Amino acid sequence: MKSIHKKLIFLTSLLLSTTLQANDLSGKIGLEGRYFLDDPAYTGQKSGGLSLSLQPEYKHKWNNDHNVLSFIPFYRKDSKDPERTHGDIRQLDLTMAKGDWEFQGGISKVFWGVTESQHLVDIINQTDGVEGVDGEDKLGQPMFRMSRIHDNGTLNVYILPYFRERTFVGANGRFRGSLPVDTHDVSYESSKKDKHIDYAARLNHTFDKLDVGLSYFDGTSRTPQLTPNLASGVLKQHYPLVRQAGLDLQYTGEAWLWKLETIHRDTKAENHSAAVGGFEYSLPSLGSTGADLGLLAEYHRDSRGYALNAPLQNDLFLGARLGLNDTEGTEFLAGTFIDLDDQSKVFRVEGSRRIGKGVKLNIEAQKLIDIDNNNPLRNVEKDSFVQIELQKYF
Amino acid sequence: MIKIMTKSILPIVMSLLAVNAIAETAEQKGLRIAKEADAQNIGFGDTTADMMMTLRNRAGQTSTRKIRSKVLEVRGDGDKSLSLFDSPADVKGTSMLTFSHGLRANDQWLYLPTLKRVKRINSRNKSGPFMGSEFAFEDLGSQEVEQYTYKYLRLEPCGNGWTCHVGERIPAYKYSGYSKQISWMDTKGYRLVKSEFYDRKGSKMKTLVFSGYQQFLGRYWRPGVMNMQNHLTGKSTVLQWSNYKFRTGLSKRDFNKNALSR
């Protein structure tokens, strides 16, 4: 713990003393518009709307890129849902590499895993639940990391001294059940509440074409249990303590990528296992255009069966990734989740393209099809949407 | 990516002292010169450089990319390289780590800063364009002798008062976008002057012209400008290299997944 404090003091003094260099500053402003295909299911919910986001970035590297100081604040103003209007420090940290060691302290983000349609082993950062529907947006996590680097792999050890609660859309927001989540009614299994110190470790190793990751997490679950408070008509959150062991594997062939992620998770109330695995197959370049196409298939399994937090209990994801490899960097990813138990389907498409200097166009759409009455996605059945975002980079 | 300048696009060079050349077949001579050109680059240790890429379409509109490059020489195997993307702005912070291995497929990892994700990628589409440019991934990767079969063609003057070996090389890689390449390399410094790329159907597709050579550490030649013209599309891409540094003290610890994501 002492070293964390030392690091933080050092980081603060560095922040104050480092002279800002123009080329270290960058960032983006985004204007996002959402349109919902159906009328809302629950009272209070709004139809589409506009949203503005700002994410500046300061990154300073020195000593042959061995030392890095980063600061990435984030703010979003949403026209419809006050809960989606929020700010966060995505990153404010210092990384130092020395020989076989690397140290990182501050607020940061860590990604674990290999699969595309679900990130099972990834657990360090809390999901920023108001940002996107795919769960890939994360809140900054205070941490201290120590890494020991070997020739073909790394052992990372993390100490996570503070817990971040998940963000949830408000009563006006879409992508929720009939009862909104109360962001103030929060309880913890640990008596230390959000001051509980979590620990995590991940070992990754490359054996020629095989990349293996073994991970372990011991701390407060990032996923709350939601229980209705019928008196006030909201869901309250309870964060249990959890231990999670994870394994991720990727075999990289010339045209085939084979991927697997699997976890076992223990809490006081329940134990469960889950897995996702599949492949990505790259087709040869299409004609003389230089475009490339990849086909994806991933199978999902969760021992809990139907559960609010586990809609992927016996599901198949089939998708395609198209990269035009043009000057504008045009890319598409489209795919469908199919529930093999009840045939509920979710179709998703994401695309992006540069338009003009420093401007990027992102599109995202999701359509829920034939959702079964018992499927947890029934809650959000009316939330099929199309989203267009313009990002200006500076 | 830097090594390309001296070793690559068609290391066909001849030793003027080669008395036994008479007995050589064109194939043997081509291979021998490729090995000699490769040997010229041994011992550079490590290099860093900045690259500015200017893409020009048929209408003359341009767009640019900026990439910083680090290369570590690996004896007995292909080099390790790290490319850090500074522009276009939406890919700033993206980086790519490549371990090349001659005929075996390269190991390659991509770092995506938004997700903080390190992703191992495959190398099937080496023939695809690099960032929308007229350079393919295979043009910019580390070039190893065993990746091609060679054939010596002729000796001819090639500007600057230089004399060049002209030779042909055929990619051994089955997914290459080329049926053959023809290159001009100067006989004294093993500097590539020009390379012509022929597509799978055998038509001349692209021409790459090298200029602005500088010599480093009294031995290693590196070009300042590489101009690639696509004859089929009318598009072109110019690479301008600057800030070359040699033996900067990089080690294998600067070429791993952690360094990639810093």
CA separation for the pair A32, A376 (Å, rounded): 27
B chain contacts of residue A28, beta-carbon cutoff 8 Å:
89-90
Report whether A98 contacts A130 (CB < 8 A): no
Contact B49, B242 (CB under 8 A): yes
Of A136, A149, A291, the CB nearest to B256: A149
**B35 burial type by CB count under 10 A (0-12 exposed, 13-18 middle, 19+ buried):** middle
Residue B237 in tokens: 């891409």
Dihedral pair phi/psi, residue B165, rounded to 5°: -80, 130
CA A321/CA A334 separation, integer angstroms? 7
Question: Model's pTM, two decimal places?
Answer: 0.90
* Nearest partner of B79 among B168, B177, B6, B18, judged by Cα: B6
Q: Tell me what the mean pLDDT of segment B113-132 comes to.
A: 88
Q: Rounded to a whole number, what is the distance in Å from the CA of B31 to chain A's nearest CA?
A: 27
Measured between CB atoms, which of B57, B92, B132 is closest to A325? B132
Question: What are the CA-CA distances from residue B110 to residues A4, A237, A293, B58 (Å)?
Answer: 30, 37, 18, 31
Please judge whether B125 and A65 are an interchain contact, meaning their C-beta atoms are less than 8 angstroms apart.
no
Q: How confident is residue A310, by pLDDT bands cut at 50, 70 and 90?
A: confident
- Structural contact between residues A64 and B254, judged by C-beta atoms closer than 8 angstroms: yes
Average pLDDT rounded to a whole number, residues A292-316 = 89
Q: Do B132 and A329 touch (CB under 8 A)?
A: yes
| Cα A6 to Cα A11, A12, A130, B34, distances in angstroms | 8, 10, 34, 55
Residues of A whose CB is below 8 A from B91:
329
Q: Which domains does chain B have, with CATH numbers?
A: 37-259 (2.50.20.10)
The residues in A 297-356 lying below 8 A from B, measured between CB atoms, are 325-329, 354
Q: Is A287 on the interface with B (CB under 8 A)?
A: no
pLDDT in tens, A56-111: 999 999 998 999 999 999 999 999 999 999 999 999 999 999 999 999 999 999 99
What pLDDT is stored for residue B13 in this prediction? 43
Q: How confident is the model at residue B62 (pLDDT cuts 50, 70, 90)?
A: very high
ipTM: 0.91
Q: What is the pLDDT of residue B123?
A: 76
CA dist A281 and B148 (Å) reads 27
Q: Do B122 and A255 touch (CB under 8 A)?
A: yes
Residue A8 pLDDT more than 70?
no
User: How many Cβ atoms sit within 10 Å of the Cβ of residue A285?
Assistant: 21
**pLDDT greater at residue A361 or residue B22:** A361
Map residue B127 onto helix, strand or coil. Answer: coil
Query: Which residues of chain B are within 8 Å of residue A292 when distances are taken between CB atoms?
Result: 125, 128
Please answer yes or no on whether A327 and B116 come within 8 Å at the CB atom.
no
**Residue A151 contacts B, CB cutoff 8 Å:** yes
Count of structural domains, chain A: 1
Full residue range of the structural domain in which residue A38 is found: 2-393
Measured between CA atoms, the residue of chain B closest to residue A93 is B262
Which residue among B129, B256, B258 places its CB closest to the CB of A290? B129
Q: Is A44 on the interface with B (CB under 8 A)?
A: no
Cβ within 8 Å, pair B116-A65: no
Question: Are residues B175 and A254, on separate chains, in Cβ contact within 8 Å?
Answer: yes
For chain B, say whether A97 makes contact (Cβ under 8 Å). yes
Q: pLDDT tens for residues A130-144?
A: 999 888 999 999 999
Q: Write down the pLDDT at residue A287.
A: 67
Please report residues of A whose CB lies closer than 8 A to that of B123.
Answer: 254
Q: What is the CATH number of the domain that holds A336?
A: 2.40.160.10
What residues of B are in the A interface, CB distance below 8 Å? 55, 57, 63, 88-93, 105, 107, 115-125, 127-129, 131-132, 136, 175, 177, 199, 232, 248-250, 252-254, 256-259, 262
**Count of other CB atoms within 10 angstroms of residue A234:** 18
For the cut 90, the answer to whether the pLDDT of residue A18 exceeds it is no
Task: Verify whether the Cβ–Cβ distance B105 to A254 is below 8 Å.
Answer: yes
- Amino acid, res. A311: P
